[in-house]
Amino acid sequence: MWVIFALFSALGLGFYDVVKKLSLRANNVLLVLLLNTVFSTLLMSPVLAGNLMHGSFGLGDSVRGHLLIIVKAVIVLSSWLLGYFSIKHLPLTIQGPVNATRPVLVLLGALLIFGERLNALQWCGILLGFASLYLVSRIGAREGFSIRSSRWLWMAGGATMLGAVSALYDKYLLGLYRPLEVQAWYSLYQCIIMSTAIVVMRRMHPEAAGVATAFTWRWTIPCISLFLTLADLAYFYSLSLDGAMISIVSMIRRGSVLVSFAYGVIVLHERNVRAKLADLSILLISLILLVLGSE
């Protein structure tokens, strides 16, 4: 059952990447990110209100619990910040596969920290996934986005690394607190941190920080929070189920690259389609093996 919810999460993340690309085109990255945290908090506000109405602040009513969630909020917000800049400037058919390398780091962490063990089908699926992502990343160099010269690729890599740290941290948090409370409180803390950061940057160096860039409202902006919240709900619930393995859940979620890739090819007419399709077909096979190995 946890595999099914991981697949739903992957679908939500795919649409999340598409609406991010549409929202960030020639737009102010920081303000779009701020609005994402605001809308995410509003979507989770019933959980916060439910805690407060029962005279509780959630997370076991402990200061330690809220400090742990604040740490998660900082990690995720940092990953988002780097990821938003990279997805604004990179083609979806390049940024998506770079982000999809996250399971490499998650797998290493899951093996070292949680002692997870994989069966033969799962290992085959993960190895094929790594191979496909490596081949796709090489295509990026042909399009002028070399790792040696593109800061946007470095940002995408940084976002991926922080995302892997967040995924491993989630496994720990969900062993202590309820999924909905984790998601609701970290959304609120993200909103507070991002709002404070933008106020400070506006007063200090708005041009250098990019705060002064023109902002354009688009209806795809609230859709970022909607798809992300749905994806996270499925993700957290998947991890909370007995037998869930963070390495496999993380790999399945990277199947979201298929949705954003299709949009990049069909709507945005990005280049090197045949080579990328061949490589992503390997990724699809790897995801099927992961699902079969988890049944």
Taking Cα atoms as reference points, which of 250, 275, 255 lies closest to residue 265? 275
Give 24-69 pLDDT, tens digit per residue. Answer: 988 988 889 999 999 999 998 998 888 888 777 778 778 888 999 9
* For residues 216-238, average pLDDT: 89
Q: Are 275 and 137 in contact (CB under 8 A)?
A: no
pLDDT number for residue 54: 79
pTM value surpassing 0.85: no
pLDDT greater at residue 119 or residue 44: 44
* For residues 173-201, average pLDDT: 87
Look up the domain containing 24 and give its range. 2-294
**Alpha-carbon distance values, 247 to 99, 105, 113, 119, 154 (Å):** 15, 9, 11, 12, 23
> Residue 209 above 60 pLDDT?
no
Q: What percent of the chain has pLDDT over 90?
A: 18
Report the distance separating Cα 206 and Cα 199, nearest Å.
10
Confidence of residue 104 (pLDDT cuts 50, 70, 90): low
Backbone phi, then psi, for 155, in 5-degree steps?
-65, -40
State the DSSP H helix or E strand holding residue 1, giving kind and residue range, or none if neither: none
Report the distance separating Cα 132 and Cα 100, nearest Å.
10
Q: What letters, b where the CB count within 10 A reaches 16 and e where it falls short, cover 2-13?
A: bbebbbbbbbbb
Confidence of residue 92 (pLDDT cuts 50, 70, 90): confident
Confidence of residue 208 (pLDDT cuts 50, 70, 90): very low
pLDDT number for residue 218: 93
On the CB side of 61, CA atoms within 13 Å amount to 5
Q: How many structural domains does the chain have?
A: 1
The lowest-confidence range among 26-30, 33-37, 108-112, 158-162 is 108-112
Number of H helices, E strands in the chain: 14, 0
* For residues 155-169, average pLDDT: 86
pLDDT number for residue 275: 77
* For residues 104-117, average pLDDT: 70
* For residues 128-141, average pLDDT: 71
* For residues 108-115, average pLDDT: 71
